[in-house]
Amino acid sequence: MRHDRVLQVLWLGWLLLLPLIAEAEEGDLRVEVAAPYIEMHTGPGYVYPVYQVAERGEWVEVLSRRTDWFQVRSHRGHLGWVHVEEMQQTLTENGEPLGVGSFTLDDFRKRNWEFGFLGGDLDGAAVLSAYGGYAFNENLSAELSLSQAVGNYSSEYLVDVNLLSQPFPTWRYSPFFTLGSGMINTKPNTTLVQTEDRTDSTAHVGIGLRAYMTRRFFLRAEFKHYTVFTSRDDNEDFNQWKIGFGFFF
């Protein structure tokens, strides 16, 4: 049941972000290809095959836009989808470059700040997290995260500070490694367990994956192993996995 609530929260967050990701239709517009050619895909994504090209000097009609993809019609009547980076190599009827500013994978690589929301499992309890991070360079960043986990017998509140290493920052699907420390506060369910709240220090290591989506948005999944340094001189260990989405600027 608690895990169902996690999925519901993530789904609601995604629905709230959809208006920001989607864009309105462009309306009819004719542009001239200035590059040697532009590739026309069968759908709005690189997963769709290229089935036509428009060569230098050809005119195409822009019909609509979906995130970073434009639906166009060639002078031969072929319909296809062209990525924004290629549309930037076209000219309007006035001879000026088509203004289609957009965030790209290169902007994601050069980001300074990012924020996100994730949900998952912490040792059998549903967990929700929010985090923020600052990138010192393409490979190294620092993050602060706040999490709440709700279990059958207690609730846990975590504050984590960690360093994140991203060895392949130019990849659209980029793995990362993380190392950090923090605090965990455990509040027992007083209706079931008569114990005091506890606050202990933690350390963790983890791995994860960022997947750039479009514009300012990306997916993120991660797994962390925690060690809790308790006051009872009896350290505890638990695992946590989460998945969610983030945005950068």
pLDDT at 97 over 70: yes
Residues 181-218 pLDDT 10s: 999 998 887 655 555 668 999 999 999 999 998 778 89
Q: Which of 159, 175, 149 is nearest to 239 (CA)?
A: 149
What is the pLDDT, as a whole number, of residue 23? 44
Residues 6+ apart with CB under 8 A from 188: 153, 154, 194, 195, 196, 197
Residues 103-124 pLDDT 10s: 677 778 888 899 999 999 998 8
What is the pLDDT, as a whole number, of residue 112? 87
Q: How far apart are CA 37 and CA 54, in angstroms?
A: 5
What is the pLDDT, as a whole number, of residue 8? 54
Give the residue with greater pLDDT, 95 vs 244.
Answer: 244
When the pLDDT of each residue in the chain is averaged and rounded to a whole number, the result is 85
C-beta separation of 219 from 239 below 8 A? no
CB 237: neighbour CB atoms within 10 A? 9
Q: Which of 53, 56, 186 is nearest to 125 (CA)?
A: 186
- Beta strands across the sheet bearing 37-41: 50-55, 37-41, 79-83, 69-74, 59-66, 29-33, 90-91
Burial 201-224 (b: 16+ CB within 10 A, else e): ebbbebebebebbbbbbbbbebbb
C-beta separation of 124 from 151 below 8 A? yes
pTM: 0.63
Residues 143-178 pLDDT 10s: 999 999 988 778 899 999 999 999 999 898 999 999
Q: What is the DSSP letter of 50?
A: E
What is the pLDDT, as a whole number, of residue 4? 56
Give the residue with greater pLDDT, 16 vs 78.
Answer: 78
